[in-house]
Amino acid sequence: MFTPPMFVVKILVNIAGKIAGKEVRPLFFKEHRKLAIVLGTLVIIVAIGTIGYQILLGVSFVDALYMTIITISTVGFTEVGDMTDQAKYFTMVIIFMGLGTVGYAVTSAVGLLLEGTFKETWRRVKMEKQIKELKDHYILCGAGETGQSVIQQFENSKVDFVVIEIKERIVRELADRGVLVIQGDGTHEEALEKAQIHKAKGLISSLPKDAANVFAVLTARQMNPDLYIVSRSVESNSREKLKKAGANNTISPNIIGGMRMASFVIRPSIISFLDIITHAGDVVLDLEDVIICQSSSLKGKTLKEAKIPERTGLIVLAIRKKGKEQPKLNPSSDEVLEEGDAMIVLGKEEQVNELRDLACDDGKRDPVKEFENMIENSEHENHPPGKEQE
């Protein structure tokens, strides 16, 4: 009784998958076409040998398959039937065909496994070296849905950053994209140490649970007291806990998302307008701050004299005077630009860079210093010098 060759195909494919330590998927055959062809040829040889021995020796399917396998593998066990001259010629053909195919299949499989291992090891070593060389960078703990948005913004801003993620699948995906990533727990000192937290500028904790974010913030603050930390807040009552743990600021994606959805319903025209001015077709407009430096040609000039819209194409939305927390919205054309003033502008990246050249602004910001200045200015406004507090 003859069994269809597809049965043999499934057996060999499953065996190959178990040997490789993974399932054999269509993607595997697509990526490694040569090995797939060799395995397919081997299956055909086994099928031909099985059918041939069934016909020539008059044995069962199992005996014919057994005879084919021991012939190809040259094990040399006793034949299952009386070997006729035709059967001997047929056996010699199977041996020559099988030996070459099996040899090539084994060397190809070993080569693929070793190549993948060496490639992965080399990539890991190279990534660890790049992470050790980081300085004034940002650390992201957690690469979930919120974390993925953070990564995209970091990439668009072209800043140095490293991600700490515990899930192996996400780590592998990020590594394939060229993102510096460490597999570990963002609440553990070991992972933060690998991320060079002592040399980092800021940290974002975007873990799925508030308890984990509190631990991550607390650990990061103890390891680097000067670090600027922003944490995700899942529940509304966790904001104060995160602040006490050491977070400089907290963000609740749920609250922000809810406010935006409500705004779409209540004031759809306003939200649509904001989307239009920040996404003009395929061009994304950035909202940036540009600080007037000491050697800037804009220093001491009014907005009218500076002619920023005419020279750069930017829209000046506001000006934050040096030492002030609140910016002046829609500033007058007679507003004088002084050293340390920050202009809030809207425009394309190249336009912002052009204004930075005029203002002699390198674009580098110290979030910790800005946060401290903001707190200090707020205290001065609430308690002006010379006024006694009751």
Shared domain for 28 and 95, answered yes or no, is yes
Strand partners, 319: 328, 343
Is 130 domain-assigned?
A: no
Determine the structural domain holding residue 287 and report its residue range.
Answer: 267-382
The residue among 196, 231, 257 that closes a domain is 257
Kindly report the length of the chain.
390
Shared domain for 248 and 271, answered yes or no, is no
Average confidence score pLDDT of the chain: 80
- d(CA 378, CA 390) in angstroms, rounded, equals 18
With the CA atoms of 260, 266, 269 and 271 taken in that order, what torsion angle do they form, in degrees rounded to the nearest 10? -10
Is 186 domain-assigned?
A: yes
pLDDT at 284: 61
CA angle 89, 94, 100 (to 5 degrees): 135
Strand (E) or helix (H) holding 116: helix 85-132
- d(CA 64, CA 254) in angstroms, rounded, equals 66
Q: Please, are residues 16 and 58 in contact by the beta-carbon 8 Å criterion?
A: no
Residue 379 scores a pLDDT above 80: no
* Greater model confidence, 360 or 378: 360
pLDDT tens for 56-106 read 888 888 888 888 888 877 776 667 777 778 888 888 888 888 877 777 777
pLDDT tens for 32-44 read 566 677 778 888 8
pLDDT at 22: 41
**What percentage of the chain exceeds 70 in pLDDT?**
77
Among 36-40, 53-57, 311-315, the range scoring the smallest mean pLDDT is 36-40
Give mean pLDDT, residues 139-144. Answer: 95
Position of tokens 């040096």?
322
pLDDT at 229: 95
Residue 382 scores a pLDDT above 60: no
* Greater model confidence, 168 or 73: 168
Shared domain for 232 and 175, answered yes or no, is yes
Place 114 in a pLDDT band, splitting at 50, 70 and 90: low
Give mean pLDDT, residues 340-361. Answer: 90
Residue 170 scores a pLDDT above 80: yes
Shared domain for 281 and 347, answered yes or no, is yes
Strand partners, 284: 279
Is 108 domain-assigned?
A: yes
Question: Treating both helix axes as pointing N-terminal to C-terminal, what angle do 5-20 and 85-132 enclose, rounded to 10 degrees?
Answer: 30
* Greater model confidence, 388 or 199: 199
Among 14-23, 102-111, 221-230, the range scoring the smallest mean pLDDT is 14-23
Shared domain for 116 and 10, answered yes or no, is yes
Question: Three-state DSSP class for 201?
Answer: coil
Residue 272 scores a pLDDT above 80: no
Q: DSSP string of 226-269?
A: T-EEEEE--SGGGHHHHHHHT-SEEE-HHHHHHHHHHHHHH-HH
pLDDT at 275: 67
342 φ/ψ angles, rounded to the nearest 5 degrees: -115, 125
pLDDT at 223: 95
Is 34 domain-assigned?
A: yes
Shared domain for 252 and 226, answered yes or no, is yes
- Here the CATH number for the domain that contains residue 180 is 3.40.50.720
CA distances, 360 to each of 247, 292, 298, 352, 370 (Å): 32, 7, 9, 12, 19
The residue among 202, 231, 257 that closes a domain is 257
Shared domain for 148 and 228, answered yes or no, is yes
pLDDT at 337: 93
* Backbone region of residue 207 per phi and psi (left: phi > 0; alpha: psi in -120 to 50; beta: other values): beta
pLDDT tens for 275-300 read 666 554 555 677 888 999 989 999 99
Shared domain for 27 and 117, answered yes or no, is yes
Shared domain for 279 and 357, answered yes or no, is yes
pLDDT at 388: 44
Shared domain for 338 and 370, answered yes or no, is yes
Is 262 domain-assigned?
A: no
pLDDT tens for 201-249 read 999 999 999 999 999 999 999 999 999 999 999 887 888 999 999 999 9
Place 372 in a pLDDT band, splitting at 50, 70 and 90: low
Is 389 domain-assigned?
A: no
The residue among 228, 257, 286 that closes a domain is 257
Global pTM value: 0.58
pLDDT at 326: 83
Among 12-16, 270-274, 362-366, the range scoring the smallest mean pLDDT is 12-16
- d(CA 30, CA 282) in angstroms, rounded, equals 35
Is 362 domain-assigned?
A: yes
Is 388 domain-assigned?
A: no
Instruction: Name the amino acid, one letter, at 156.
Output: N
Domain count for the chain? 3
pLDDT at 334: 92
Residue 1 scores a pLDDT above 80: no
Shared domain for 192 and 285, answered yes or no, is no
pLDDT at 244: 92
Place 188 in a pLDDT band, splitting at 50, 70 and 90: very high
Residues whose CB falls within 8 Å of the CB of residue 198, separated by 6 or more in sequence, listed in order: 223, 224
- Here the CATH number for the domain that contains residue 58 is 1.10.287.70
Give mean pLDDT, residues 343-364. Answer: 88
Shared domain for 173 and 193, answered yes or no, is yes
Q: DSSP string of 319-372?
A: EE-TT-SS-EES--TTPBP-TT-EEEEEE-HHHHHHHHHHHT------HHHHHH
